[in-house]
Amino acid sequence: MPKLLLTGANGFVGRSLAQRLAERGEIARISRLRLGSPQPTDWSAALQDIYCVVHLAARVHVMSETSVDPLTSFRAVNTRGTLELARQAAVAGVKRFLYASSIKVNGELTSAGESFRHDDSPHPLDAYGVSKRDAEIGLRAIAVETGMEIVIIRPPLVYGPGVKANFAAMMRAIQRGLPLPLAAVTQNRRSLVSLDNLVDLLITCIDHPAAANQTFLVSDGEDLSTADLLRRLGDAMGKPARLFPVPVPLLRAGAALIGKQGVAQRLLDNLQVDISHTRETLGWTPPITVDEGLRRAVAGLRRS
């Protein structure tokens, strides 16, 4: 079995991936890296005899940024820290470096009927997305210079047991029977990916020959409107989502008045990804459906 180095093992995705790797019997070294520290860290001991680095550790995108210079803060960890690790991995003879990036490298939204593709020109609009794009550019340069294989995966919103932030807030609102003014939001489409589907793709990319030096987009393969997502979450909980209609233009105007344009964008606009390249290159299909993914997320909420 390949020897793996996993970073970010304490994170939302990392915990699930570490458990799956243990179940499969892969030899996985867990490394708690101090990415982006002022002085370069020596990771040579952690990288000894490693076939593949699965790099999940990152400064994550947050709704309420506190840094006075977010781009510098994100680049210190997500760009510089990633590239320092990758350079040392190449020197240590690591064959493959698997990098969890973000769909934010592509952008924040898509036009109706259109989807982001793996080969689109990057168009990040926030500091997090810029830092991830810059890391991708640097990783590709390292691949050319050293021959180490790079695999980049750009997920959209990931949900599953233990999910936090807006997705958890939606589940709690339905659980409490709160009325939500989103019944009219039926024309947008959002791509999501369940935790289990993302972990399955990560595992597939560890040693799949065709994954080398590729960029993959990932989703559940079914895109939902906001109203449909909420109703199907309600079905998974066994209680109806209490939705009432407010015209979308009024929702946008209200969000603007209270400074929540970003929240409105995520609830009202489109963000779709085309995973045909992922399917065709790897012969990969999302192993679980949206509804099963939602049931697992709800089960996690009940256990928390």
Q: Decide if 128 is catalytic.
A: yes
**Phi and psi at residue 172, to the nearest 5°:** -65, -35
Alpha helix locations (H) across 147-225?
165-175, 195-207
Report how far residue 186's alpha carbon sits from residue 228's, in angstroms, rounded to the nearest whole number. 7
Tokens 């590729």 -> residue: 214
Distances (CA, A) of 5 to 18, 46, 97, 103: 10, 8, 10, 24
Which of 51, 99, 128, 159 is an active site residue? 128
Q: Where are the beta strands (DSSP E) in the chain?
A: 3-7, 27-31, 52-55, 96-100, 149-154, 157-159, 192-194, 214-217
Nearest Cα to Cα of residue 47 among 87, 79, 88: 88
| DSSP letter, residue 75 | I
Give the list of residues 6+ apart from residue 189 with CB closer than 8 angstroms, or none.
Answer: 223, 224, 225, 270, 272
Residues annotated as catalytic (active site), given as ranges? 128
